[in-house]
Amino acid sequence: NAGVTQTPKFQVLKTGQSMTLQCAQDMNHNSMYWYRQDPGMGLRLIYYSASEGTTDKGEVPNGYNVSRLNKREFSLRLESAAPSQTSVYFCASSEGDGGWTEAFFGQGTRLTVV
Amino acid sequence: GESVGLHLPTLSVQEGDNSIINCAYSNSASDYFIWYKQESGKGPQFIIDIRSNMDKRQGQRVTVLLNKTVKHLSLQIAATQPGDSAVYFCAENYGGATNKLIFGTGTLLAVQP
């Protein structure tokens, strides 16, 4: 049981390049999330998907897009990377449907934009 | 441990002492709360949760207290051990159809041997 799997684990981009961070969960969870974590700070919600077919903005959505490809997969896209997007990105999933269950996290993607 | 500036607040305790980590949450309608532990280089890991219809819940060596009147959570760790050294986050679930999960700033717990 892999839980939440993120790829890649590390990435260096040049300013203006685009890339997609991939996330997949094998727990049949309904809700999925993307967070960013800057050094010495907490996790800020970028986008989330409460259920398959829906996506909503979180606290810091500017500069990002997401796709809930199916129930298992939730991708995060940076169309034109900026140095301010240098961060560690975490994907998470939870049972959702208003259920009181915790979110499970992937190991993170460390992104550097130069 | 309240959030200030860009740096995580730090709680330093002696091994064997009890630790209390505090958190203020933002949404009075949030119906579910979770404490996470994050070790360096890893994703957050679940510690304990509490529903809004409770004011206290106990786990193994940990207790969470919820005060909805002042929108405050605390995490108590008994007999703190070096392995407890990590950053601790509270998270609130806005609940209902949104299922939006928002994290607090976090507190760094440093356990001195």
Question: A18-32, pLDDT tens digit by residue?
Answer: 999 999 999 999 999
Lowest mean pLDDT among B5-14, B35-44, B48-57: B5-14
| A80-84, B6-10, B38-42: range with highest mean pLDDT | A80-84
Taking an 8 Å cut-off on Cβ atoms, the answer to whether B43 and A106 are in contact is: yes
Q: Nearest Cβ partner of A50 from B8, B46, B97?
A: B97
B46 and B86 Cβ atoms separated by less than 8 Å: no
Mutate to test the interface with B, among A5, A35, A41, A51 (most CBs of B within 10 A): A41
Looking at every residue in chain B, the average pLDDT score rounds to: 90
CA distance A102 to B93: 9
Mean pLDDT of B24-28: 91
B79 φ/ψ sector (left φ>0, alpha ψ -120 to 50, else beta): left
pLDDT of residue B3: 36
Q: Is the per-residue pLDDT at B84 higher than 80?
A: yes
Looking at every residue in chain A, the average pLDDT score rounds to: 93
In chain B, what is the straight-line distance between the N-terminal and C-terminal CA atoms, in Å? Answer: 21
Mean pLDDT of A68-75: 96
Q: Give the model's confidence band at B2: pLDDT under 50 very low, under 70 low, under 90 confident, else very high.
A: very low
Taking an 8 Å cut-off on Cβ atoms, the answer to whether A33 and B101 are in contact is: yes
The answer to whether residue B105 neighbours chain A at the CB level (below 8 Å) is yes
Q: Nearest Cβ partner of A50 from B7, B51, B99?
A: B99
Taking an 8 Å cut-off on Cβ atoms, the answer to whether B34 and A103 are in contact is: yes
Mean pLDDT of B60-89: 96
Residues 19-58 of A with CB under 8 A from B: 30-31, 33, 35, 40-45, 48, 50, 56, 58
pLDDT of residue A48: 94
Residue B42, C-beta contacts closer than 8 angstroms, at least 6 positions apart: A107, A108
What are the beta bridge partners of residue A22? A7
| B28-42, B66-80, B83-97: range with highest mean pLDDT | B66-80
Mean pLDDT of B30-59: 94
pLDDT of residue B97: 62
CA distance B103 to A1: 26
A76 and A21 Cβ atoms separated by less than 8 Å: yes
Taking an 8 Å cut-off on Cβ atoms, the answer to whether B99 and A98 are in contact is: yes
pLDDT of residue B4: 34
Lowest mean pLDDT among A6-20, A33-47, A97-111: A97-111
pLDDT of residue B5: 38
Neighbours of A18 (CB within 10 A): 10
